Chain A
């Protein structure tokens, strides 16, 4: 927990931020519209006496006041998917359209992949890439349970995902990170945190994002997200690609965000990174997240 002290000047109401770390994260789920309409699912919940509260920023997201929501028959049957509230943000920012060709570069366990698939109404193609063989099974299992038909799974190192034969309309890079924003899900993630670890991850993340931009059509959209507060893994990664893509500001009505930071460790960053979004756990009663939306430059092939 002491590690978080380095963010004291960066996070608003830092004491409130520290206080919320010890409170367990509320359970939440996404309604899987590939299998059921929202109103039909809510009828089922009412009939089975399941309490829920809709997110005020996303009608398909529900907070569930219960333990082990994964055991709900609605989850086992694929009508809902247990997914953290903020994990539903990157697909919304990506805004995939039916019929497009979309790449999810770091896909497993596939919560965002399946959300992208449902936003595309099972049309077009989503390539879900996951380098780890052990993580392919949960990715496949989630896709099949949720009735996803437009996803194909590959297993490349994301830094070397082949740039031929096609370019993608949109690419999501939900990068491996130090996961500091997941502390509320189970204490312990912070004990591994260090500047060196974040800088090692920075190199991997920057390589992934660079390749993602290469894989995108000129004018196409790349969304980069992490669940950490570390600027090395967030704004500093974004800053490294600003010659090939420009940032677009993110705004989700009903969800409080802070702008990206423009100074870290005594060094000023490109002011553009202020257009990225930082989500803090005490502002929305969620985990922590960082999201950036990039548009690939037209002249960059």
Chain B
């Protein structure tokens, strides 16, 4: 991946499956077989996945699903992508109980003890992938996109407390991840 390639031209460039499979294998223990039948593209700092099928020569706004963001370190998987590939994860995953799963879907930060490494994790409830979380030092910050969050059951004051907790964890992250 030369630094001047897709980033500057802002077009979809084919990407080797191994690029994606290696990163997802390393972080989540997902076997490379999980990515068979898909084709991958890079556009600027994002990676996209689509099924293998004809792709006419046209100018595209999107191809399949955006699955990862490479802009920051560590790279970040999208919630949509985890819902497709995340069920194959064997490490850095967290299972929630009923109450916590609701809070997670509301976009909140949870106090959770896990043996996961700091960084992005696959969050499950009853064997189903809810989406992406950011785990560090006993805190799990929901990464569910705003438009897919459940309405909050708590009042505004606690909301802003949650926001503070989130900012706190977020600001800790780069140091932890170094």
Chain A residues packing against B (C-beta within 8 Å): 35, 71, 73, 76-78, 99, 101, 122-125, 127, 136, 140-141, 143-145, 147-156, 162, 165-166
- Does any Cβ of A come within 8 Å of B53's Cβ? yes
- Does any Cβ of A come within 8 Å of B60's Cβ? yes
Q: Within 8 Å CB of A122, what residues of B?
A: 51
B62 touches which of A125, A140, A162 (Cβ 8 Å):
A140
- Chain B binding surface, main DSSP class: mixed
Task: Check A127–B78 contact: CB distance below 8 A.
Answer: no
Q: Within 8 Å CB of A125, what residues of B?
A: 51, 53-56
Q: Within 8 Å CB of A144, what residues of B?
A: 65-66, 78, 80
Chain B residues packing against A (C-beta within 8 Å): 38, 49-51, 53-66, 78, 80, 83-84, 105, 130, 147-151
A269 to chain B, nearest CB (A): 35
Task: Check B53–A124 contact: CB distance below 8 A.
Answer: yes
Task: Check B80–A145 contact: CB distance below 8 A.
Answer: yes
Residue pairs across A and B with Cβ atoms less than 8 A apart, 5 shown, are: A73-B105, A136-B61, A140-B62, A147-B65, A166-B56
A23 to chain B, nearest CB (A): 27
A150 touches which of B53, B56, B62, B66 (Cβ 8 Å):
B53
Task: Check B56–A165 contact: CB distance below 8 A.
Answer: yes
Distance between Cα atoms of A147 and B61 in the complex (Å) = 17
Q: What 6 A-B pairs have minimum CB-CB distances, sorted nearest first?
A: A153-B62, A144-B80, A153-B61, A166-B56, A152-B63, A125-B53
Given the interface pairs A71-B151, A76-B105, A77-B130, the reply to whether A149 lies near B58 with Cβ below 8 Å is no
A149 touches which of B50, B105, B148 (Cβ 8 Å):
B50
Task: Check A154–B59 contact: CB distance below 8 A.
Answer: yes
Q: Within 8 Å CB of A155, what residues of B?
A: 59, 61
- Most chain-A CB neighbours within 10 Å: which of B55, B78, B80? B80
Q: Within 8 Å CB of A166, what residues of B?
A: 54, 56
- List the B residue with the shortest CB-CB distance to A79: B128
- List the B residue with the shortest CB-CB distance to A117: B51
Q: Within 8 Å CB of A156, what residues of B?
A: 58-59
Q: Within 8 Å CB of A143, what residues of B?
A: 62, 65
Q: Within 8 Å CB of B84, what residues of A?
A: 147, 149
Q: Within 8 Å CB of B54, what residues of A?
A: 101, 124-125, 166
B139 to chain A, nearest CB (A): 23
A37 to chain B, nearest CB (A): 13
Distance between Cα atoms of A132 and B57 in the complex (Å) = 21
Q: Within 8 Å CB of B53, what residues of A?
A: 99, 123-125, 150
Q: Within 8 Å CB of B61, what residues of A?
A: 136, 140, 153-155
- Most chain-A CB neighbours within 10 Å: which of B64, B66, B149? B64
A35 touches which of B58, B63, B83, B149 (Cβ 8 Å):
B83
Task: Check A76–B149 contact: CB distance below 8 A.
Answer: yes
- List the A residue with the shortest CB-CB distance to B151: A71
Distance between Cα atoms of A136 and B60 in the complex (Å) = 11
B48 to chain A, nearest CB (A): 9
- List the A residue with the shortest CB-CB distance to B147: A141
Task: Check A73–B59 contact: CB distance below 8 A.
Answer: no
Q: Within 8 Å CB of B148, what residues of A?
A: 76-77, 145
Q: Within 8 Å CB of A140, what residues of B?
A: 61-62
Distance between Cα atoms of A155 and B60 in the complex (Å) = 7
Q: Within 8 Å CB of A136, what residues of B?
A: 61-62
Q: Within 8 Å CB of A78, what residues of B?
A: 83
Distance between Cα atoms of A71 and B147 in the complex (Å) = 10
Distance between Cα atoms of A122 and B62 in the complex (Å) = 16
- Most chain-A CB neighbours within 10 Å: which of B49, B60, B130? B60
Given the interface pairs A73-B105, A78-B83, A141-B147, the reply to whether A150 lies near B60 with Cβ below 8 Å is no
- List the A residue with the shortest CB-CB distance to B53: A125
Q: Within 8 Å CB of A165, what residues of B?
A: 56-57
Given the interface pairs A127-B56, A154-B60, A165-B56, the reply to whether A148 lies near B65 with Cβ below 8 Å is yes
Distance between Cα atoms of A101 and B130 in the complex (Å) = 32
Distance between Cα atoms of A147 and B66 in the complex (Å) = 11
Q: Within 8 Å CB of B56, what residues of A?
A: 101, 125, 127, 165-166
